[in-house]
Structure 1
Amino acid sequence: MENDRGTKRSRWRDDDEERQTAERRRQEKERKRKQKQERKEKKQQQLDQNKPDDNGTSEPKETSADVNGLDLDINGLLQFKAPEIRSCRGVNNYEMLNHIEEGSYGVVYRGKNIDTDEIVALKKLKADKNQYGFPITSLREINTLMALQHPNIVNMKEIVVGGSLDQIYIVMEFVEHDLKSLMTDMREPFLQSEIKTLLHQLLSATVLMHENHVIHRDLKSSNLLMNNRGQIKIADFGLARFFSEPSQAMTQLVVTLWYRAPELLLGAKYYSTEIDLWSVGCIFAELITNKPLFEGRSEIDQISKIFDLLGYPDEQNWPGFKSLPHGKTINKPKNYVKTQSLRTKFPMMTSAGIDLLSSLLQLDPKRRMSASEALKHPYFKEDPRLQPPEMFPTFPSKAGQERRRRASPSAPVARHGDHLNDNKNENDDDDDDGFIMAAPEDEKFGLFREQDKKGGGFQLRF
Structure 2
Amino acid sequence: MASKSRWATDDDPETEAILAQRKREKDEKRRAKAEKQRQLDEQQAQAQAQAQAQQQPDPDHPPKKRRRLSNDQDQEKEKPSQTPPATSKNNEPTILSFPTQEWGPCRNVANFERLNHIEEGSYGFVSRAKDITTGEIVALKKLKMDNSPDGFPVTGLREIQTLLEARHQNVVELREVVMGDKLDEVYLVMPFLEHDLKTLLDDMSEPFLPSEIKTILLQVLSGLDFLHDQWIMHRDLKTSNLLLNNRGEVKIADFGMARYYGDPPPKLTQLVVTLWYRSPELLLGAEKYGTEIDMWSIGCIFGELLTKEPLLQGKNEVDQVSKIFTLTGPPTPQTWPEFRSLPNAKSLRLPPTPSTASSTSSPPLLPRTKFPFLTNAGLHLLSSLLALNPTSRLSTKACLAHRYFREDPRPKPKEMFPTFPSKAGMEKRRRRETPEAPKRGQEAPKLDFASVFGGEQGEQGEQGAGFTLRLG
5+ residue gaps, structure 1: 1-28, 49-72, 404-462
Q: Which residue of 2 aligns with 1:42?
A: 86
Amino acid at match of 1:400: G
Amino acid at match of 2:405: F
Which of 383, 386, 389 is 1:358 aligned to?
Answer: 383
C-alpha displacement of 1:44: 2.6
Cα distance in 2, alignment partners of residues 379 and 369 from structure 1 = 13
- Taking the TM superposition and a 5 Å limit, the aligned residue runs for 1:224-235 are 224-235=242-253
Instruction: State yes or no: 1:105 paired with 2:123.
Output: yes
Instruction: State yes or no: 1:377 paired with 2:402.
Output: yes
Residues 130 and 242 (structure 1), Cα distance of their counterparts in 2 relative to 1, 3 Å cut:
closer
- Taking the TM superposition and a 5 Å limit, the aligned residue runs for 1:59-138 are 82-128=100-146, 131-138=149-156
- Tell me if structure 2 keeps the 8 A contact 1:108–1:122: yes
- Tell me if structure 2 keeps the 8 A contact 1:176–1:225: yes
Which of 282, 287, 299 is 1:281 aligned to?
Answer: 299
Q: Which residue of 1 aligns with 2:195?
A: 177
Per-residue CA deviation, residues 236-271 of structure 1 (Å, 9 max, x unaligned), is 000001001110000000000000000000000100
5+ residue gaps, structure 2: 1-64, 74-81, 360-364, 429-472
- Taking the TM superposition and a 5 Å limit, the aligned residue runs for 1:32-431 are 42=86, 44=88, 82-128=100-146, 131-334=149-352, 341-401=366-426
SS at match of 1:307: helix
- Tell me if structure 1 keeps the 8 A contact 2:118–2:427: no
Cα distance in 1, alignment partners of residues 274 and 91 from structure 2 = 60
C-alpha displacement of 1:83: 2.8
Amino acid at match of 2:374: M
SS at match of 1:123: strand
Per-residue CA deviation, residues 293-351 of structure 1 (Å, 9 max, x unaligned), is 1010010000011111101112110011101111112222349999x943121011110
Aligned residues: CA RMSD: 2.9
SS at match of 2:163: helix
- Tell me if structure 2 keeps the 8 A contact 1:128–1:135: no
Aligned residues: 343
- Tell me if structure 2 keeps the 8 A contact 1:268–1:325: yes
C-alpha displacement of 1:104: 1.3
Cα distance in 2, alignment partners of residues 108 and 165 from structure 1 = 19
- Tell me if structure 2 keeps the 8 A contact 1:342–1:358: no
Cα distance in 2, alignment partners of residues 184 and 361 from structure 1 = 23
Per-residue CA deviation, residues 207-247 of structure 1 (Å, 9 max, x unaligned), is 00000000000000011111111111110000001001110
Q: Which residue of 2 aligns with 1:426?
A: none
Give me the TM-score of the superposition, normalised by structure 1: 0.70
C-alpha displacement of 1:45: 7.1
Identity rate, percent: 56
Cα distance in 1, alignment partners of residues 138 and 193 from structure 2 = 8
Larger RCO of the pair (alpha carbons < 8 Å, separation 6+): 2
Cα distance in 2, alignment partners of residues 372 and 204 from structure 1 = 8
C-alpha displacement of 1:42: 2.5
